[in-house]
Amino acid sequence: MLSPKTIVITGASSGLGEALAVEYAAPGILLALTGRDADRLEATAAACRAKGAAVEAARLDVSDAAAMEAWLLALDDRQPVDLVIANAGISAGTGGAVEPADQARRIFAVNLDGVLNSVLPLIPRMQARKSGQIALMSSLAGFRGFPGAPAYCGSKAAVRVYGEALRGTLAASGVAVNVICPGYVRTAMTARNSFPMPLLMDADKAAALIRRRLGRNAARIAFPWPMLAAVWLLQALPPALIDPLMRRLPAKGVDAD
């Protein structure tokens, strides 16, 4: 989809979702945006309208399957969706202890169930039209489990593998699927991290990179490449060798956001 006209972006009230919305905003574009914070979502919508885009903004929790399905299908009835970017996600860790059970379940509900709720209602319609593009937001943290953030890593790993499989499933019907695996991006989410974040990238630069590679229908959009190489190495090394090192890495704080 080199020039999608109707674009859904979840988690657009801040961070990378906000940056992606602004990146795609232009005359002739309809942006359908969701987020949890109504004020921040409206600020994103205003910035996109200032660039000439038409915007429909809805305060929705992506973990609410019924609400997401109703909103997506109503939108698609009015104007068929060309591109959906299932971006909404939350992050938290162990804080150096054991991850709270309610936090772990909430992370999976948003990061995994929320992705499914954002794309499953649209897949049959895109298949029927033999066109459309689905982008799933994973993370470089989805390549190897980090002891300081087990639910976050696990949820992003599930999204990555699901997306890679779904790409093959839908290829014959003309629907593209892309998996996005960023490293550290400068957002409110990463601002909460108290540990060093190598190769931290500004959100607007990350959004521009993602848009370019989605335009080329790249199967996996993973960046920056030195971080990708590092996680590939961690994934390839035997656990007995790498586990002692992994246990010494800093942990994310608790309280999912």
pLDDT at 256: 56
> pLDDT per residue over 69-82, tens digit each?
999 999 999 999 99
In whole numbers, what is the pLDDT of the chain averaged over residues?
90
pLDDT at 240: 74
Asked if 18 contacts 12 with a C-beta cutoff of 8 angstroms, the reply is yes
pLDDT at 92: 81
- Give every residue of the chain whose pLDDT is below 50, as ranges: none
pLDDT at 5: 97
Query: Which residue has tokens 């949890």?
Result: 36
Catalytic site includes residue 152: yes
Q: What's the N-to-C CA distance of the chain in angstroms?
A: 31
Residue tagged active-site, from 24, 152, 162, 184: 152
**Whole-prediction pTM:** 0.88
> pLDDT per residue over 207-219, tens digit each?
999 999 999 999 9
Alpha helices, DSSP H only, in the chain? Answer: 15-24, 38-50, 65-78, 101-108, 114-119, 123-129, 150-170, 188-191, 203-215, 225-236, 239-246
